[in-house]
Structure 1
């Protein structure tokens, strides 16, 4: 025996020499049960049967449950290549250290052990993305699920939550398509009258702020808001809730890109509004209150050379309000109506004047499709949807990433438990902080002098057209590369391939320097994601080198064509907006 048994949550282990010289066996023990995770007989051969590499490609990312003496990692690295991404979850640090002492890790392996799942979440979030989400293979070493049942339940649930969030992002991109650039261009026409949100950065140090969300628990404590003297942030649909008790919101948030969002404001379009530049233009067009534009991508800088404050958002308007309050220096930041779940078969507070079919909600909860239990504010469990769970996890991660001096209070008094928050009845929160009064809020213009938007957008079109020309040449070069690989001639192809690859490198550099990624992003992603995730255009294990390269070059050709098509869609959107401005006899030039 090479390693003394070490306990981890009741599990001990032993590492011993196997029947194969130089190889080792691993045994786990718990409650008088003893099982070999790695067999004493041909340990490496038995482990390679856990996965069928024929279904993998050279972009596949592997998540191992257990290191398994590194044998399976070595096998996969040898077959696929040294750049293969492997994440290893080994519950016990002692067990991991014992294995690494025998089989050192290679640079392509990332390890996680212990119970700090925030570290695991950050690690996996940095590795999983829309382009590889279909190429993830989770491999469970034998018997780990029997010995680390609860641990693995939490770890695998975390991985599923991250993948679910990415899938929601993909679906959002598909739905937004041209809406993103249409809203950005239309809203940009209001930039000269917009206000400067950067002016508010850290201006409200230690001023309490409450975020009023529309969850059903808002009915419990809205009345106490009457005595609140700090800042009030609202979603569009809770402006009416706040006004129903004689108060007014200091800021409302807007992130939704759809036209129907107009209905949620119910005509209350005079509260200072913090809006994403790509938010629904139907609201912006008719808004009477002070407008603050912010962005989560540098679209205003790409289109018009304007720098707007960058915000972090997690899919719901409450996340925009949260980031805005933090940006402004507010402390504490308080949540009410932030149920993030179904409380009493409701989705919304009755104060929002939304008619809900509670029978339909009850049927959905009973059906349990897309529904799961999570820890509740008041103990026990509450039911939530996959989408609401993504919002919850985002908020928890945001809180965890903030400075510890900022206090977050969940005063919802119902719904989901939000990790990282202090739970306190809103009545007590109001009593504790009512002596602090917010200062006078000033709404200063973003631009001291109006800019010529027509000229800015016409220059933007010229840049897009120049990039389009580069994309067409890149598509042609990719096509010629694909031909050379598919019809490889040892005498002339190597020289031709080298010349084409050199030209492609130069074209890629010019396309990257054009700074149009954000403008074309959503439409291009819609077209390109199917190409980029298609196995036809990835390096396959069962293809010869030149056939493999031919497929990849063909994929690149299709990607450049998709980019060119997206560029012209953006140009069309800009031209349409400029024509609209002219036909409506708006100021010439557009200012």
Structure 2
């Protein structure tokens, strides 16, 4: 690796790779490379995240400093290890360089990208990096896309289901003392084969193979979601565990003819409240929320949520100690030009659009049509499988190729299956002991206290606006009453957004914070210092914040009281 002078007065590295020499950027017109980078980030907001692939000689950093503000983060991913070693990891307080290692990059992306900033992420591959380090570039793009989809999915789910999340949470509290925590069953089925049943188009074919080997099924641990319970029961196949995580009433409709099954039903705080209430079998509780907010629940365990109920089913099988984990109906694609198996299609599906969007690699090496959502599920599943290499995963579906889960014919898998340990049924142990009314009172108190704080913040903003004093927050004395007012406003906001108790608000909090960032706090990086030091401007934007906060909390309170009336009185 050697540094060369460019024709326009900069410096560029030449590296040797695969027995060939490459310049990391244009040696003739280096200024153009820097200009393209600056043009990419010219409209950044004060809290934008800037990801840059490649640092080269770092000639662009000085000019980049002039367009960012202290709140911006710049992360430079450098694929050349020896080059990244020449820099301190923290170039400046808000500019850092990291060596390209997939797991490290994945972790950094997950830590820095969330539902609040998905529209404020900027990416640029500097110079010739994307072609010289093409493999690393594609890997970075894949992980960036996956992280963005995860974050945007949180917003999408919040917008669609926030009211159901609140209602289901309040209603399901009533059932908790009748449930067994999921972690009670850890390692109860060590090395017992698990069959994870999904509703993809090839499930109908898989069921025919299951019927041929019913003698083997009694020794396998069968886990299914609500959608496919009927498909199994109608063919004389009894599941060992049903997992229901969807909040919608359609989940109840899928199960309405099977409410008297004696198979345990696993659910979490936001699972459909009517199904949880009316199902007659034993119930298993998966804690994703209350383990963070209720001290008595801190020992409870959740499961992996990758967007589909199949991810949770697979994680439960892993938690039980099952191996191999056999996937059926897990097409993750429109096999046979269908969105679901005929046996797993319900009236609810008529209301949804299942139009193919992209092609992915199929089990036979050819291409098969799928949706962006299903591809996302596939990526999340592959990430999970990569993490648990000690477990054997077998894909017996006929759709998309799943990395880490080789495809095998189910007939052959079942024919050759051996059993080292007997299957253990999930025997109930209802050791959850909480006072339901106290938990509900706590939630209602949290909402009430937040409403009081919102009213206090709103009054402070109104007082500042009515006084109409033109002041700079940067120049005010510590004992200035307006500065004290503003500091308390910030305290209210910080406590509300970061309190564990705010998690009770579920999708309402996610939606609220996303909208406020998008609609209320849009400040360009170049105007950041000027705007944020303007007392009157700050009072006006936080006035909107507290008005929307009150509006949101009133709706949550109303839904909570409605649910209490329906389920508790």
Asked whether the 8 Å contact 1:410–1:421 carries over to 2, the reply is: yes
Q: How does 1:211-360 map to 2 (within 5 A)?
A: 211-225=196-210, 226=214, 227-228=216-217, 229-265=219-255, 267-269=257-259, 270=261, 271-298=263-290, 301-302=293-294, 308-352=300-344
Q: 1:57 aligns with which of 45, 58, 78?
A: 45
**Deviation at 1:473?**
1.5
Q: Out of 367, 370, 378, which is 1:381 matched to?
A: 367
**Corresponding residue SS for 1:195:** strand
Note the C-alpha offset of 1:325.
1.6
In the aligned structure 2, how far is the partner of 1:555 from the partner of 1:253?
A: 44
Question: Contact (CA 8 Å) 2:13, 2:24: kept in 1 or not?
Answer: yes
Q: What does residue range 435-454 of structure 1 map to in structure 2 within 5 Å?
A: 436-447=421-432, 452-454=435-437
SS across alignment from 1:424? coil
Q: In structure 1, what is the Cα distance between the partners aligned to 2:302 and 2:175?
A: 18
Matched with 1:7 is none
1:569 aligns with 2:561: no
The C-alpha deviation readout for 1:137-186, integer Å capped at 9, x for no partner, is: 11232344454556534432432233223222211110012110101111
Displacement of 1:107 in angstroms is 5.2
Q: How far, CA to CA, are the matches of 1:81 and 1:510 in structure 2?
A: 25
List runs of 5+ in structure 1 lacking aligned partners. 4-13, 366-370, 584-591
Is it true that 1:476 corresponds to 2:459 in the alignment?
A: yes
- The CA distance in 1 between the partners of 2:141 and 2:495, in whole Å, is 42
Structure 2 alignment gaps of length 5 or more: none
Q: 1:153 to 1:45 in 2, by over 3 A?
A: closer
Q: Is the 8 A contact 2:363 2:400 kept in 1?
A: yes
Counterpart selection for 1:426 from 410, 415, 424: 410
- 8 Å Cα contact 2:471/2:534 also seen in 1: no
* Deviating more after overlay: 337-346 vs 567-576: 567-576
Are residue 462 (structure 1) and residue 442 (structure 2) matched? no
The Cα offsets for residues 389-412 of structure 1, whole Å up to 9 and x where unpaired, read as 11111112222233x433322232
Structure 1 residue 80: deviation in Å?
Answer: 1.7
Query: What SS class does the counterpart of residue 189 from structure 1 fall into?
Result: helix
Q: Which residue of 1 aligns with 2:152?
A: 167
In structure 2, C-alpha distance between the alignment counterparts of 1:50 and 1:512, rounded to whole Å: 34
* Aligned-partner SS, 1:69: coil
Q: For each residue in 1:176-197, what CA deviation from the matched residue of structure 2 results, as whole angstroms up to 9, or x when unmatched?
A: 1211010111122222323333
- The answer to whether the 8 A contact 1:173-1:526 is kept is yes
Change (3 A) 1:560 1:325: farther
Change in 2 beyond 3 A, CA 1:505/1:351: closer
Mark the CA change 1:56 to 1:299 in structure 2 (over 3 Å): closer, same or farther: same
- Once the two structures are superposed, residues 12-69 of structure 1 have per-residue CA deviations (whole angstroms, 9 ceiling, x without a partner) of xx53134677x41245789999885545567457513432354112211112132132
Cα pair 1:255 1:317 within 8 Å, conserved = yes
- Are residue 528 (structure 1) and residue 506 (structure 2) matched? no
CA RMSD, 1 decimal? 3.7
Shift of 1:249: 0.3
Task: Tell me the CA shift for residue 239 of structure 1.
Answer: 1.7
| Equivalent pair of 1:454/1:578 in contact (CA under 8 Å) | no
Equivalent of residue 187 in structure 2, options 194, 198, 202: 202
Closer, same or farther in 2 for the Cα pair 1:102/1:513, shift >3 Å?
closer
d(CA) in 2 for partners of 1:355 and 1:514? Answer: 41
Contact 1:70 1:105 in 2 (8 A): no
TM-score scaled to structure 1, two decimals?
0.82
* Structure 1 residue 338 displacement after superposition: 0.8
Residue 181 in structure 1 maps to residue 166 in structure 2: yes
Which structure has the higher relative contact order (CA within 8 Å, separation 6+)? 2
Q: Is the 8 A contact 1:464 1:516 kept in 2?
A: no
Q: Quick check: 1:132 aligned with 2:117? A: yes
Summarize the Cα distance change of 1:580–1:238 in structure 2 as closer, same or farther, 3 Å threshold: closer
Alignment of 1:548-587 (within 5 A): 549-550=534-535, 551-581=537-567, 583=569
159 and 26 in structure 1: CA distance in 2 versus 1, 3 angstrom threshold: same
